[in-house]
Amino acid sequence: MKRSVLIKVATQSILKNKLRMFLTMLGIVIGVAAVIVMVAIGSGAQSTIQKQVSNLGTNMIFIMPGASGQGGVSQGAGTFNRLTLQDAEKLKRESTLLVGVSPVTFTGTQAISAQGNWRTRVNGVAVDFQTIRDWPVSSGAFFNDSDQRSMRKVAVLGNTVAQNLYPGMDPVGQQIQLRDVPFKIIGVLASKGQQFGGQDQDDVVIVPYTTAQARLNNNVRIGMILASTSSPEDIPGAMEEMRAIVRESHKIAAGEDDDFTIRNQDELAEVAQGTTKVMSALLAAVASISLLVGGIGIMNIMLVSVTERTREIGIRMAIGARGSDVLTQFLVESVVLSLFGGLIGIVIGFIGAAVLGRLTGWNTITPPGAVLMAVGFSAAVGVFFGFYPARQAASLNPIQALRYE
Q: Which residue has the higher pLDDT, 362 or 183?
A: 183
Query: Residue 94's pLDDT is what?
Result: 93
User: Could you report the per-residue pLDDT of 260-274, keeping only the tens digit for each?
Assistant: 989 887 766 665 556
Mean pLDDT across the chain, nearest whole number? 80
Distance of CA 232 to the CA centre of its chain: 21
Assessment of whether the complete model's pTM goes beyond 0.95: no
> Which residues have CB under 8 Å from 148's CB, separation 6+?
126, 127, 208, 209, 210
Separation between Cα atoms, residue 196 and residue 53, nearest integer Å: 8
pLDDT higher than threshold 70 for residue 396: no
Report the DSSP beta bridge partners of residue 382. Answer: none
pLDDT tens per residue across span 48-98: 766 666 666 668 898 988 765 544 444 444 456 788 999 999 999 999 999
Query: To the nearest whole percent, how much of the chain has pLDDT over 70?
Result: 77
Determine the pLDDT at residue 72: 47
Q: How far apart are CA 399 and CA 314, in angstroms?
A: 7
Q: Which amino acid is at 40?
A: A
* pLDDT 10s digits, 352-364: 888 888 887 777 8
Split at pLDDT 50, 70, 90, the class of 283 is low
DSSP label at residue 216: I
d(C-alpha 97, C-alpha 103), whole Å: 17
Where along the chain do its domains lie?
A: 3-51+271-403, 81-258
